[in-house]
Amino acid sequence: MIKNPHYNVVPGDAASHPYLDFTGVDVRVPMFVYLSREKRPGHDHNKKAGAMNAMVRASAILSNGPFMLNFDCDHYIYNCMAIREAMCYMLDRGGDRICYIQFPQRFEGIDPSDRYANHNTVFFDGNMRALDGLQGPMYVGTGCLFRRYAVYGFNPPRTNEYRGIYGQVKVPIDPHGHHHPGPEELRPLPEHPDHEAPQRFGKSKIVHRDHRRGQNGRPPGALLMPRPPLDAATVAESVAVISCWYEDGTEWGLRVGWIYGSVTEDVVTGYSMHNRGWRSVCCITRRDAFRGTAPINLTDRLHQVLRWATGSVEIFFSKNNAFLASRRLKFLQRLSYLNVGIYSFTSLFLIMYCLLPALSLFSGQFIVATLDPTFLCHLLLITITLMLLCLLEVKWSGIGLEEWWRNEQFWVIGGTSAHLAAVLQGLLKVIAYTVHVGVSRTVYAEIPQYSKLLGGGFFSFWVLAHYYPFAKGLMGRRGRTPTLVYVWAGLISITVSLLWITISPPDDRIAQGGIDM
């Protein structure tokens, strides 16, 4: 831990460095704290989300700054003025309703053709900017400036300022200065501001003492005031809040801080803020704010896409599904979050779309029965309309045609491999849950049928025991199943099934109800 810098400017001189002249330059170094949270067996540390929540609590004690910057370890600051630009959004008129400022991800070390679509400009420069017209872009896990007050789970001020199904109708200001409170503002406050604090934030009073309703971090001018050095009690308090037991019985990870329960905790965390009525902003600076590294081979890239797709499937089957959102999540913003949860399921249709041409060549039959002029006119009209829409989006967002084409190519690659694997994993989890429910019903039925339960369980275990070496080999060296295994398993299964039905179709008598014996 580097000690607190002096509050007065410390200018350098020409002799302070052998090669650089620091004359008239402020040479103070900000306080830097290395944080390593406690981990113990039996306590789930919740990966990145748990680390971020530990950082939030420790920084509340050490600095309690109103804004927090988050970016991954493989990213670095490329534009030192980007943080000031983001704070301008926060401090602007109406900016107190903004929960975070999301910067686009920019990468280095990518081949000129970008064959794996690592730049992903269609998403960052197209989709994210388009969401600026709604409640704002989603949180993507890095390159984001947060408002601490919003991270603490509080509702935004003037919750009912924007109304309507699309959230674009601003309530007019009464010229006489009369304020008409909404339902959230009419809710009675607790008798004491800290009445619910221990159950929500934990036992540390320092973590939540400056975040009562109506306050937002340190008071104005606190940075210009002299601050005493950190004493032993403050350091001990910061160590206590990053202990593995601190979150027990609190709302950390549920409503406060980064949300737990998904491998894509970033999307869920941003969703929880938008669901409370907060807004976000996409900030694209002239000079890139941050830069980082991207996967350089197909295996790493597909593994990254698989993790994102797995998180989207988890969101779809969880309480964070946008179907279950509150009324503060407006209609179009709700559609954007619905797309996050269901885009992986398009792989089921995409795989059929990719297999149909080869199947038509194999069977000698075309996809459609007849190619009449009406069908061709409709197909041509739909194709031209889609192309014009794509050109309009590309022209508006400033994306090159080559970048758009790379994005389309990798969408097909990821859709027929990683997305399909994520859907299968999600369905397997649902099936496992169904099996658990079936076993529970059998055990707790009025007349339990233990014989069927034991018999089915024994033979299932017997089959799985024989497949154990095969399953162990599929898991790879580090216990992770290669994406290629899912790809080929799905493709081979679907292809063999279609070929079997084509070569040996089922008997008509069987299809109609059975064969007389």
Q: Residue 285 is which amino acid?
A: T
Radius of gyration of the chain (CA): 28
> Which DSSP state fits 165?
T
Binding-site entries for Mn(2+): 48, 72
Q: Which residues are CB-neighbours of 363 under 8 A, at least 6 positions away?
A: 502
Query: Which amino acid belongs to residue 330?
Result: K
Binding residues: 47-48, 72
- CA dist., res. 307 & res. 302, Å (int): 9
Amino acid at 215: Q
Select from 216, 233, 97 the least CA-distant residue to 148: 216
CB burial of 402-435 (b: ≥16 within 10 Å; e: otherwise) equals: ebbebbeebbebbbbbbbbbbbbbbeeeeeeeee
Q: How many CA atoms lie within 13 A of 326 on its CB side?
A: 12
How many CA within 13 A on the CB side of residue 406? 18
* Owner of token pair 């990213």: 75
| 290-293, strands of its sheet edge to edge | 75-77, 290-293, 107-108
Task: List the beta strands (DSSP E) in 267-374.
Answer: 279-282, 290-293
Known binding residues for UDP-alpha-D-glucose: 47
**Which of 268, 221, 253, 208 is CA-nearest to residue 61?**
208
List of residues 6+ apart from 198 with CB closer than 8 A: 250
Structure tokens at 392: 């309009």
